[in-house]
Structure 1
């Protein structure tokens, strides 16, 4: 029986070797979802704008949510509220798009499973690259909106890729785990949407952590999406630099999750063909 390596070195070599294949598949995936639609790829612009408008109205007008302006000033403008809200949405949507597709990732590419030479481990990376395209579009919208509404974009916005790096590693770890498990336990694909929705409302997407009672904040910080959401607002909106100690801890945890997820994927992939 063929054995698949769980070594990080093997993974790195596979990603480097198959980088062009990943880019081609990601481009096909990102553009293919709009194939046949009237507006085509313009939906990648319209969808985040529409959701931003809805969420801004609901949480700034109906629920009267407010953020502090980085420190003490209250965010009164709905436009400023939208910028803060959108920054959190961008990070969560990256996680949501990848993780929601992960349980059916192998099942939807059954033709690749039969090909021994196809590197199945790159499929979560393809989904991540496709989602990164939509993230880049959303970040562009955010920066333009911030420039129009606030009047300036903080120079710390260039630090966003550093904030994103450990989140992407964490997402890959979760995706490898769910992709492998979803082959054997099909119910995951049916329940993952509920779990992601619950996680969204438990994450500081629509509220600042500082608005919570002290006794609840510890639980919020255990949420894996809390750090990237808060840090993205720091660099994109408030003009604060990265909290390097928290970044280091989060990166270490993300690397562990990725290694465990990849190990699980490699250990279970030998049975994919039999189950599918």
Structure 2
């Protein structure tokens, strides 16, 4: 792989950064247009969700997370952390197959960089994810737990996650043009991943004979790692982190390659 080819996905994104920012901003604003609170819903929604989790699981079910290092962790914060990671993944999984199909008017514009549609969707999801992360960090401060020094590693984990989601989005976006059923399959997988991923439980709680389901699920690493960095103050396993980085890079470049490989036929299909 030539050096220019290696950096091409990044250089193309940087080249059209203003267009990506403008389209993402318009999309975020249009989502809340007409509502009384407007963009403030991006802050209100995660706050309300966190309060609901605290009430239902903390006061009603009196649920407790399995102990970590002999310390009983707050169930609400660990659950909320898993859910916001899942929601970002789920949004990209369900939305990506229709990114090109829903923007068919751009396909026949030769000069329009179609691959930025995935960046726009990713920026949109990342915006809501970061707002939810901010709510979680404020909650940890107010609850007296404080912030762990492991937060310094958060940008590296986010970069891994972004690379994986971008590659997945390019692949599904291109495949969705030719195989419309991908939209329905992605919707089913998003629902199934709610229970097949450690969103409502730690991966360690899964019986040994079913542990392979956790191991082959890429979302397991990210949910568990975000929990460790944000809530538990632990460092993810270096071997797992290296494997996840390799998988993310492979997904990123494969998705980009596949998108451009089949792009020439978009106009004929749409």
1:261 aligns with 2:259: no
Q: Give the Å deviation of 1:115.
A: 0.8
> What are the Cα deviations for residues 177-220 of structure 1, in whole angstroms up to 9, with x where unaligned?
11011111222223322210101211111001122222222321
The structure showing larger relative contact order (alpha-carbon pairs under 8 Å, at least 6 residues apart) is 1
Q: Give the Å deviation of 1:63.
A: 6.4
Taking structure 1 as reference, are residues 28 and 170 closer, same or farther at Cα in structure 2, changes over 3 Å only? same
Q: Give the Å deviation of 1:9.
A: 3.4
Once residues 62 and 229 of structure 1 are traced to their aligned partners in structure 2, the CA distance between those partners, rounded to angstroms, is 25
Once residues 151 and 73 of structure 1 are traced to their aligned partners in structure 2, the CA distance between those partners, rounded to angstroms, is 12
1:165 aligns with 2:159: yes
The corresponding residue for 1:249 is 243
The corresponding residue for 2:16 is 18
> What are the Cα deviations for residues 47-106 of structure 1, in whole angstroms up to 9, with x where unaligned?
22333444555555676653234322334xxxx211111111121111111221101101
1:207 aligns with 2:201: yes
Query: Tell me, which stretches of 5 or more residues in structure 2 are unaligned?
Result: none
Equivalenced residue count is 267
Taking structure 1 as reference, are residues 155 and 179 closer, same or farther at Cα in structure 2, changes over 3 Å only? same
Taking structure 1 as reference, are residues 137 and 24 closer, same or farther at Cα in structure 2, changes over 3 Å only? same
- Superposed counterparts of 1:109-128, under 5 Å: 109-128=103-122
- Superposed counterparts of 1:218-229, under 5 Å: 218-229=212-223
The corresponding residue for 1:3 is none
Residue in structure 2 matching 1:180, options 174, 180, 204: 174
Taking structure 1 as reference, are residues 133 and 153 closer, same or farther at Cα in structure 2, changes over 3 Å only? same
Q: Which moved more, 1:259-268 or 1:64-73?
A: 64-73
> What are the Cα deviations for residues 247-268 of structure 1, in whole angstroms up to 9, with x where unaligned?
1110111111111111211111
Once residues 267 and 177 of structure 1 are traced to their aligned partners in structure 2, the CA distance between those partners, rounded to angstroms, is 10
Once residues 64 and 177 of structure 1 are traced to their aligned partners in structure 2, the CA distance between those partners, rounded to angstroms, is 42
The answer (yes or no) to whether the contact 1:177–1:265 under 8 Å persists in 2 is yes
TM-score of the aligned structures, taking structure 1 as reference length: 0.89
Taking structure 1 as reference, are residues 274 and 55 closer, same or farther at Cα in structure 2, changes over 3 Å only? farther
1:270 aligns with 2:264: yes
Q: Give the Å deviation of 1:12.
A: 2.7
Q: Which moved more, 1:51-60 or 1:89-98?
A: 51-60
Once residues 264 and 59 of structure 1 are traced to their aligned partners in structure 2, the CA distance between those partners, rounded to angstroms, is 43
1:51 aligns with 2:45: no
The answer (yes or no) to whether the contact 2:57–2:76 under 8 Å persists in 1 is no
The corresponding residue for 2:32 is 34
Q: Give the Å deviation of 1:140.
A: 0.7
- Superposed counterparts of 1:60-71, under 5 Å: 65-71=63-69
The answer (yes or no) to whether the contact 1:65–1:207 under 8 Å persists in 2 is no
Over aligned residue pairs, what C-alpha RMSD do you find? Answer: 2.0
SS at match of 1:195: helix
Q: Give the Å deviation of 1:118.
A: 0.7
Once residues 233 and 179 of structure 1 are traced to their aligned partners in structure 2, the CA distance between those partners, rounded to angstroms, is 29
